[in-house]
Amino acid sequence: LLVPGADGEDIPAPFNTLQGQFTPSADLNDRVVVWRGDITRLCIDAIVNAANNSLLGGGGVDGAIHAAAGPDLLEECASLHGCETGDCKITKGYSLPAKHVLHTVGPIYYRSDWEEAQAKLVSCYERCIETAVENSVRTVAFCAISTGVYGYPSTDAAMDATCTVRRLLEDKRYADKIDRVVFVTFVQNDVLAYNTVLPLVFPPV
């Protein structure tokens, strides 16, 4: 895989805006990883579901998670009375290898009010980490929230996701309470976006 920025290659826009912004930290680098595959296969404290406001299931990663977790997940979700965009609700993982599911609802992306969408996407990551810490969840795998059906550009989403997670891992409220964040990529767009963005936001020491 060719990673832009390696071997002196130019880092393309919009990623180049991140160059030189972040101080290298071995501790932070040890706690983040990009992994490509099906999030439902991860044996971890919690996986993040990109759900909708009803929390009653859907397509994409939401459909895959409900299919793998079994009907008990839907039953618990139905008792939660939905979820606001940018918020998060936690359930058990049932038949999943993951112990919990953090259900969050990303924004539907419209080019006209992208700043509002960005604020909501950042809020998804914040509320997931906050909810994880409240529930003693120490390892979290995020899917690329909103980048499928909800249409958020994967480059911008990867930048928002990694910058927000870095800020949260440095925040004293969460710093010692999260051991690992996995950014799960699935489609090629996200693989390229995360492989480009991660070494910029978490530069090698």
Residue 190 is a binding residue for ligand AR6 (CB under 6 A): yes
Compute the least distance from the CB of residue 73 to ligand AR6, in Å: 13
Segment interacting with ligand AR6, rule: CB under 6 A, options 23-31, 48-56, 122-130, 160-168: 48-56
Sign of CA dihedral 37, 40, 45, 49: positive
Among residues 5, 148, 199, 203, the one that binds ligand AR6 under rule CB under 6 A: 148
Compute the least distance from the CB of residue 135 to ligand AR6, in Å: 22
Amino acid 114 reads: W
Residue 86 is a binding residue for ligand AR6 (CB under 6 A): no
Among residues 24, 59, 70, 97, the one that binds ligand AR6 under rule CB under 6 A: 59
Question: β-pairing, 88-92 with 4-7?
Answer: unpaired
Residue 73 in contact with residue 101, Cβ under 8 Å?
yes
Residue 156 in contact with residue 196, Cβ under 8 Å?
no
**Unique residue bearing structure tokens 């939660």:** 80
Q: Angle 150-89-103 (CA atoms, 0-180°, nearest 5)?
A: 35
Site residues (vs ligand AR6, CB under 6 A): 38-40, 50-52, 58-62, 64, 106, 143-150, 184, 186-187, 190
